[in-house]
Structure 1
Amino acid sequence: MEDIMSKFRLCAFADEADSDIRGQIKALNRNGVGLIEVRGINGKNISDMTLSEVKEANKLYNDNGIKVWSIGSPIGKININDDFEAELEKFKRTIETAEIMEAKCIRMFSFYGTNGETKYRDEVMEKLSRYVEIAQGSSVVLCHENEKGIYGDVASRCFDIVTSIPDIKAVFDPANFNQCNQDIIEAWDLLKPYVYYHHIKDADLEHKIVPAGYGSTNMKVYLTEYAQMGGGVLTAEPHLADFVGLSNLANEDETANIGSFKFDNNDESFDFAINAIKNLIKDI
C-alpha cells in the first residue's frame, strides 16, 4: 500500500488541543502532524496579534518542527453591513502575518447577514474582490470556507464565488455543508476543481460534530477521489470538545453542535480526532 503521506499532508487547528503555544506544539509533535492552521495562540486570535508576537510564535513553531500552512483568520466573518474599512485594515495585517509565517494561504469567509439572498450577491462579490486586490503581490492564496450562515454556505453560492473571482479558492468543510442540509457529494462534484485544501470535520444526521469517519458526510468517498487527483492538505478541525475561542467562532453557540463523544480533556479529544483521520485515510 502506498504511504498515506504521499497523498495527504496532515495539518491541524492545534488551539483545539491547547490555547498555549507550547501545548499546541506538544500536541502536534506527539501526533506526528507537521503543519498547523493558526487560529488562536495563547488565547489571542491570530488576526489580533502584533507582528512582534507573530514573529515570536512562528520562530517557536519552526524551532519545534512545525510549519504554518494557513492562517485560520476570521476575515469576512462579519455582518455584510459592518464597517468594511476597519475589516480591510485587519486584512492587511493578516497578509503581513501570513508573510511573516510563510503561510501558503489565508482562510476567509463571505459575510453574515445576507440570508443567502440574491440581492446581496453583487455587494458580496465586490467586497471579496477588495480582499483580492489587497492580496495582489503577495504569495498568499485566499481560501473561502463554506461556513454556515454566511453568503457562501451552500455549494451553488460557493461555486459562484470561486468562478466569479478565480483568485479565491475553496476550503471544503463537510460538516458545515451537513449543517446547511447540503448534499456533500453534490458539493464535492461541483467544487472539486476549485478546492485548495480540506477541513476534516465530520457530522452525523442530527448535524452533531463527530470524529472523522463516524458521520454521514461520505468523507471517505470524496477523499478517495481527492487522492486520485493528487491529494493535498487535510486540516483537522475536531470540534469534539469545548476550547478557548470556540464560542466566538460563529454567531450562534458552537458548543451546541458538539456530539456525544466524551473526553477527559482537550488533549484527549485532539488525539482521538487525529487518530480517527489517520484510520480513515490509511486504506485510501
Structure 2
Amino acid sequence: MIRLSAFADEISPDLNEQIAVLKSENIHAIDLRAVDHINVLDLSDQQVQNIKRTLTEAGIAVAAIGSPIGKVPIDSSFEDHLVRFDRSVAVAKALDTRYIRIFSFYPPAQAGTGDSDPATYRDQVISNLQEMTRRARAAGVRLIHENEKAIYGDTIARNVDLLKTINDEYFRSVFDPANYLQCDQTPYPDAYEATLPWLEYVHVKDVRADGSMAVAGEGESDWPAILQRLRSDGYNGYIALEPHLANSGQYQGFSGPELFRRASQALQTILRNMDWSYA
C-alpha cells in the first residue's frame, strides 16, 4: 500500500500548524525540511528530539529528511559539505527515517548560472556521490536523488548516468515529473521508463504549459496516467506532496494551509477515483 507524506513546511513554519493540517488531510507522514524557518540540518539535537516527540505524539512518522545536500557548486569544499552530510545522517537516525533526499551539485561557481558543459565536472559529481553513498550504506540509510533543475542530474540522460554508474541500493531515484517538465524533458513515459529500475520515491507537484505551478491533474505531468502506471508496476512506497503553489524558491517552496489542502485533495481525489488504497 502506498503512503502519503508531505513537505509540511509548505503549510506553515510552525510545527503545530503543520501537524494540524496534515491530520485534517489524513496524512500521517512528513518529509522534514524546515521548522520555524530553520533548515532540518541546522536544528540542534534538542530541537530534533523535541520535533520527534511532538510528531510521535501526533501519530506522524518522518518519511524522509528533505535535506539540501548536493545543492552547492561542484567546486565548493567537499570536505565541508561532508560535515553537513554527516549531520544529515545523524538527523535521519534520530528521526527514525531511512531516507535522505539529496541533489547532484550545481555547475562550478565560476560558471555562473549553469552554462558550463556538465561533462567537464561529471567525474567529480560521481566521486562525491559515491563517497556519500558509501557513508549512507555504512549508516543504513538510503539517499534518494531528486532531479531538480540546474543540478547535474536534472535531465533524463544525466540522471540515468548517475544511477547506472553508482548502481547501489543506497543511492536511489526520486521521480519528480514537474522538475523534468521545467527542464524540457518528458516525464511520462520517457523519464519514468528510463529511471524505473532505481525508482524509490515520488514527489507530487504539477506545472502548467506557461510554467506556473498547479495541483496534480491540472498541469502537464499527466498524474492520472503516472499513478496508474505506478500501481500496475507494484509501487508501494511514499508519495510526497511538494506543491509549491504560492512560492517556488531555490531551497524551499511554500503553499500555505489552504493551497496545500487544495493540492492534497486533488491528489487524493485521483487516488480515490482509481480505487488505489493509501495510508
The corresponding residue for 2:174 is 171
The corresponding residue for 2:111 is none
Contact map agreement 1:13 1:37 (CA 8 A) in 2? yes
The corresponding residue for 2:132 is 131
Contact map agreement 1:76 1:108 (CA 8 A) in 2? yes
Question: Within 5 Å, which residues of 2 pair with 1:159-238?
Answer: 159-167=160-168, 168-185=171-188, 186-231=190-235, 232-238=237-243
What is the CA distance between 1:81 and its match in structure 2?
Answer: 1.2
Mapped to 1, the partners of 2:220 and 2:5 lie a distance apart of 22
Runs of 4+ in 1 over 2 A off after TM superposition: none
Please tell me whether residue 282 in structure 1 is matched to residue 272 in structure 2: yes
What is the CA distance between 1:283 and its match in structure 2?
Answer: 2.6
The corresponding residue for 2:66 is 72
Contact map agreement 1:143 1:196 (CA 8 A) in 2? yes
SS in 2 for 1:152: helix
Please tell me whether residue 94 in structure 1 is matched to residue 94 in structure 2: no
The corresponding residue for 1:260 is none
Q: Which amino acid aligns with 2:122?
A: R
SS in 2 for 1:170: strand
Mapped to 2, the partners of 1:109 and 1:247 lie a distance apart of 15
Mapped to 2, the partners of 1:88 and 1:162 lie a distance apart of 20
Mapped to 2, the partners of 1:222 and 1:191 lie a distance apart of 13
Mapped to 1, the partners of 2:24 and 2:210 lie a distance apart of 32
What is the CA distance between 1:248 and its match in structure 2?
Answer: 4.5
For residues 79-135 of structure 1, what are the alpha-carbon distances to aligned partners after superposition, in whole Å with 9 as ceiling and x for unaligned? 111121111001101100000101120000001116462121111100111111221
Equivalences, count: 263
Mapped to 2, the partners of 1:282 and 1:35 lie a distance apart of 19
The counterpart of 1:103, out of the listed 97, 107, 110, is: 97
SS in 1 for 2:55: helix
Contact map agreement 1:177 1:183 (CA 8 A) in 2? yes
Mapped to 2, the partners of 1:194 and 1:156 lie a distance apart of 14
Mapped to 2, the partners of 1:282 and 1:143 lie a distance apart of 27
The corresponding residue for 2:277 is none
For residues 32-53 of structure 1, what are the alpha-carbon distances to aligned partners after superposition, in whole Å with 9 as ceiling and x for unaligned? 0001000011110001111221
The corresponding residue for 2:155 is 154
Contact map agreement 1:31 1:271 (CA 8 A) in 2? yes
What is the CA distance between 1:247 and its match in structure 2?
Answer: 3.4
Q: Which amino acid aligns with 1:130?
A: E
Mapped to 2, the partners of 1:247 and 1:171 lie a distance apart of 19
SS in 1 for 2:261: helix
Mapped to 2, the partners of 1:15 and 1:78 lie a distance apart of 22
The corresponding residue for 2:3 is 9
The corresponding residue for 1:240 is 245
For residues 153-179 of structure 1, what are the alpha-carbon distances to aligned partners after superposition, in whole Å with 9 as ceiling and x for unaligned? 011111111111123100011111000
Contact map agreement 2:107 2:118 (CA 8 A) in 1? no
SS in 1 for 2:101: strand
SS in 1 for 2:154: coil
What's the Cα RMSD here? 1.6
Mapped to 1, the partners of 2:75 and 2:250 lie a distance apart of 19
Contact map agreement 1:175 1:207 (CA 8 A) in 2? no
Identity %: 34
The corresponding residue for 1:272 is 262
What is the CA distance between 1:249 and its match in structure 2?
Answer: 1.3
Mapped to 2, the partners of 1:166 and 1:204 lie a distance apart of 33
Consecutive unaligned residues in structure 2, runs of 5 or more: 109-113, 275-279
Question: Within 5 Å, which residues of 2 pair with 1:104-119?
Answer: 104-113=98-107, 115=114, 117-119=118-120
Contact map agreement 2:70 2:105 (CA 8 A) in 1? yes
Contact map agreement 2:107 2:121 (CA 8 A) in 1? no
